[in-house]
């Protein structure tokens, strides 16, 4: 990245030098010797916080690393930046906005004084309004002649990913109402959902902050046509709109009593804490949703009140920064050993990479360091039979995270024991590896060839973090998601970037709007767009038009 040579420095030369020196030592020594040097490492590098336990002992975390990042945090005035987040300062400088999503789960804001006190009132009013609207909708549903069996949640990105995760994680195995999530404009997804639904027992919830999102409105139009084709004269009476722009929802045709609002200052990828999660709340109950908010608020308090040396959000972000900038790790893998968390990676991909996938510092100059890693992963033992080969023997350093739930919500305990055994074993194997002598000892009676023995060598010393939840309760899930939110904030502060805009998604949307009429109008129009598109794209347009 050539811009690194000309950018404003956001990390001092002395801190950079110390971290580079430590990284060379860590790469040479590995992680295993740290357990010999620090007999109580497992206990000392594990942290109990509200909602979960997190174990950093199998990473390169050390007292030396913590000390350097403590000085780094002091140099960049981390405490004041954290205060700015919670006090409602306009830390989203490029858009001139405050970042206020923590108010959604704690409208009293832990007693922290706000720069604009009216936002506290707005949060309190929003929460009270959501409760009132939730109760009204529940009352409407009870008066229906046909019980609701299906809810189609239509939204994209932050208007869907978090709600889907909450629904899958917390509604339980016995939920009688199914929620189908439609985000993709690809009608194959929509058609597959509609084939499972009956118009007489289906509700539609359209979620869009502006209620102008093209994909969402087109999907809503198609669903409304489906209602009409199946004999419903007034399809929008079955539609609810969740938005920060109630006027736009009304203009679309959503009945006013079916419009659920949230404040304009709620950002898309932080909107899971708001009425955007209406569909999940309707199925799991408002009490569970309140518990979900309370779990997040507990992590808010931990993050705000705890020094960086024992603050799990900062420590996780510190390791992300260290691995990405000084140990050449370009990605981070996340593996949830619980089927109910199957959408967690999708959610975190948006949260982290849309927030921190930036090449501009806060002052607009090019970055002088790596920002967001590639976030990827999977669920449970499925991925052990695919990507774990690369984790154990691949040539790239990939820090991995394992999320385990101690107690399941089913009684097939032999299944869960097997699941936990696999998750714990993978973290142990990534650390220990196995050398040639170990292979020979383990397979002494198998007469393996020298080539086969060498193929079974694993280097080990590959970092992993383990997050252990006692049970997947609403509070635990809220705490887990709040942890990842504050970790993302810390990563942005360390990299000196604005984590709260998303300019990178805009260019592609604008070009799609330009390109669509060309595809609709014919080849001659496509040829006229040569000045607007590159030769490769123009060639593809022409091939599509044939």
d(CA 357, CA 370): 9
| 135, 247, 273, 160: CA torsion to nearest 10 | 100
Domain for residue 112, yes or no? no
Q: What is the pLDDT of residue 1?
A: 39
* Same domain (yes/no): 331, 274: no
User: Does 451 share its domain with 518?
Assistant: no
Same-domain check for residues 514 and 437: no
Is residue 98 in a domain? no
Question: Do 22 and 65 sit in the same domain of this protein?
Answer: yes
Question: Do 268 and 136 belong to one domain?
Answer: yes
Domain termination residue (choose one: 244, 268, 284): 284
Question: Which CATH number does the domain housing residue 268 bear?
Answer: 3.40.50.10490
Q: Which of 229, 258, 284 is the last residue of a domain?
A: 284
Structure confidence at residue 523 (pLDDT): 52
Asked if residue 223 and residue 200 are part of one domain, the reply reads yes
Residue 206 lies in a domain: yes
Specify whether the CB–CB gap between 78 and 109 falls below 8 A. no
Res. 103 pLDDT band, cuts 50 70 90: very high
Q: Does 113 reside within a domain?
A: no
Which residue in the list 40, 188, 385, 410 is annotated as catalytic?
385
415 catalytic per annotation: no
Q: Among 254, 284, 314, identify where a domain stops.
A: 284
- Asked if residue 75 and residue 122 are part of one domain, the reply reads no
Say yes or no: 357 and 326 in one domain. yes
| Secondary structure (DSSP) of 100-160 | -THHHH-TTGGGPPPSSTHHHHHHHHHHHHHHHHHHHHHHHHHH-SS---EEEEE--GGGT
Q: How many other C-beta atoms are found inside a 10 Å radius of the C-beta of residue 255?
A: 15
- Mean per-residue pLDDT of the chain: 92
Q: What is the pLDDT of residues 373-413, one digit of tens each?
A: 999 999 988 898 899 999 999 999 999 999 999 999 999 99
Q: Is 344 a member of any domain?
A: yes
Kindly state whether residue 104 falls inside one of the protein's structural domains: no
Confidence of residue 6 (pLDDT cuts 50, 70, 90): very low
Does residue 487 register a pLDDT over 50? yes
**Residue 418 within any structural domain of the chain:** yes
Cα 399 to Cα 324: distance, rounded to the nearest angstrom? 10
Gap between the Cα atoms of 408 and 426, Å rounded: 20
Angle formed by the axes of helices 63-75 and 312-326, to 10°? Answer: 100
Half-sphere exposure of 193 (CA within 13 A, CB side): 26
Q: What percent of the chain has pLDDT over 90?
A: 79
User: How confident is the model at residue 504, as a pLDDT?
Assistant: 86
What pLDDT is stored for residue 3 in this prediction?
36
Enclosing domain of residue 312: 2-91+292-501
Q: How many residues does the chain have?
A: 546
Residue 174 binned pLDDT confidence (cut-offs 50, 70, 90):
low
Asked if residue 416 has pLDDT above 90, the reply is yes
410 is catalytic: no
The mean pLDDT value for 127-143 works out to 88
pLDDT at site 357: 96
Identify the pLDDT of residue 433.
Answer: 95
**Residue pLDDT, tens place only, 312-330:** 999 999 999 999 999 999 9
- pLDDT at residue 4, rounded to an integer: 37
Which of 18, 107, 352, 354 is catalytic? The answer is: 354
pLDDT at 198: 96
What pLDDT band is residue 522 in, cutting at 50, 70 and 90? low
CA 332 – CA 350 distance, rounded (Å) = 14
Same domain, 384 and 510: no
Statement to judge: residues 87 and 144 lie in one domain: no
Does residue 524 have a pLDDT over 60?
no
**Overall number of domains in the chain:** 3
User: Residue 19 falls within a domain, yes or no?
Assistant: yes
Residue 414 pLDDT exceeds 80? yes
Question: Domain check: are 161 and 302 in the same one?
Answer: no
> Cα separation of 281 and 496, whole Å?
36
pLDDT at 126 over 90: no
Task: List the catalytic residue out of 509, 513, 516, 528.
Answer: 509
- With H, G, I as helix, E, B as strand and everything else as coil, classify residue 76: coil
Known catalytic membership, residue 32: no
Residues 515 and 368 reside in one and the same domain:
no
């Amino acid at each position: 990245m050539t811009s690194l040579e000309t950018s404003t420095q956001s990390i001092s030369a002395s801190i950079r030098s110390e971290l580079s020196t430590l990284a060379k030592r860590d790469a040479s020594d590995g992680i295993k010797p740290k357990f010999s040097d620090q007999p109580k490492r497992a206990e000392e590098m594990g942290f109990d916080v509200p909602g979960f336990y997190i174990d950093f002992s199998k990473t390169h975390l050390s007292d030396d690393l913590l000390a350097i990042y403590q000085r780094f945090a002091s140099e960049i005035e981390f405490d004041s930046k954290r205060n700015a987040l919670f006090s409602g300062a306009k830390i989203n400088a490029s858009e001139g906005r405050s970042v206020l999503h923590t108010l959604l789960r704690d409208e009293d804001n832990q007693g922290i004084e706000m720069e604009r006190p009216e936002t506290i009132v707005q949060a309190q009013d929003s929460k009270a309004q959501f409760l009132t609207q939730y109760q009204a909708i529940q009352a409407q549903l009870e008066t229906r002649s046909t019980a609701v069996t299906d809810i189609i949640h239509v939204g994209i990105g932050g208007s869907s990913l978090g709600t889907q995760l909450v629904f899958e994680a917390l509604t339980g195995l016995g939920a009688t109402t199914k929620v189908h999530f439609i985000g993709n404009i690809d009608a194959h997804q929509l058609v597959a959902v509609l084939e499972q639904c009956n118009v007489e027992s289906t509700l539609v919830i359209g979620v869009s902050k502006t209620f102008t999102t093209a994909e969402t409105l087109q999907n809503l139009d198609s669903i409304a046509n489906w209602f009409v084709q199946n004999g419903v004269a007034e399809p929008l009476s079955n539609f609810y709109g969740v938005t920060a722009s109630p006027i736009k929802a009304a203009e679309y045709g959503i009945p006013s009593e079916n419009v659920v609002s949230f404040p304009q200052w709620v950002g898309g990828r932080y909107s899971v804490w708001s009425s955007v999660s209406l569909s999940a709340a309707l199925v799991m109950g408002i009490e569970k949703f309140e518990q979900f908010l309370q779990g997040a608020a507990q992590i808010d308090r931990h993050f705000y009140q705890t020094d960086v040396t024992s603050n799990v959000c900062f420590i996780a972000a510190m390791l992300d920064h260290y691995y990405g900038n000084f140990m050449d790790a370009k990605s981070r893998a996340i593996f949830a050993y619980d089927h109910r968390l199957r959408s967690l990676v999708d959610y975190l991909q948006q949260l982290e990479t849309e927030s921190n996938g930036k090449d501009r510092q806060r002052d607009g100059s090019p970055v002088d360091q790596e920002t967001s890693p590639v976030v990827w992963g999977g669920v449970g033992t499925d991925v052990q039979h695919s990507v774990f080969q690369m984790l154990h023997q691949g040539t790239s350093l990939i820090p991995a995270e394992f999320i385990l739930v101690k107690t399941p919500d089913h009684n097939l305990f032999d299944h869960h024991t097997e699941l936990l055994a696999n998750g714990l074993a993978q973290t142990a194997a990534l650390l220990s590896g196995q050398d040639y002598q170990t292979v020979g000892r383990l397979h002494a009676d198998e007469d393996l060839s020298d080539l086969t023995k060498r193929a079974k060598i694993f280097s080990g010393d590959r970092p992993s973090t383990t997050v252990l939840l006692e049970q997947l309760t609403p509070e635990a899930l809220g705490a887990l998601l709040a942890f990842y939110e504050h970790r993302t904030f810390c990563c942005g502060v360390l990299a000196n970037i604005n984590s709260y805009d998303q300019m990178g998604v805009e260019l592609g949307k604008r070009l799609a709007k330009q390109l669509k009429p060309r595809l609709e109008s014919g080849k001659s129009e496509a040829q006229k767009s040569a000045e607007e598109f590159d030769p490769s794209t123009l060639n593809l347009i022409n091939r599509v038009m044939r």
